Amino acid sequence: MDAMAIAQMKRQMFVQEEELRHNSHDLQVAELALEANKKKVEELHKKVTENKRKLDLFKVDITKAEEASRKAAMEERRRG
């Protein structure tokens, strides 16, 4: 192998090292973003669960209030 071929191989090696550094950096950034998104997903799951619970409580409260209102209206009609 002559000096030109060796020099070309060294340039290719340098290019490959640079690509490896960039890819390693991109991988690290993506892994950090993934970790942050996992935490965000967990938080959103908690919020959705809490909101569903609150909605169910509102539904129960409304049902009870409507029933009480109907009973009060019936009592009022009976008296009147």
Q: 17-60, pLDDT tens digit by residue?
A: 999 999 999 999 999 999 999 999 999 999 999 999 999 999 99
> Is the dihedral angle over the CA atoms 38, 40, 41, 46 positive or is it negative?
positive
pLDDT band at 1 (very low <50, low <70, confident <90, very high): confident
**CA-angle at 36, arms to 30 and 41, nearest 5°:** 120
pTM of the model: 0.63
pLDDT at 80: 75
**CA-angle at 31, arms to 43 and 49, nearest 5°:** 15
pLDDT at 45: 98
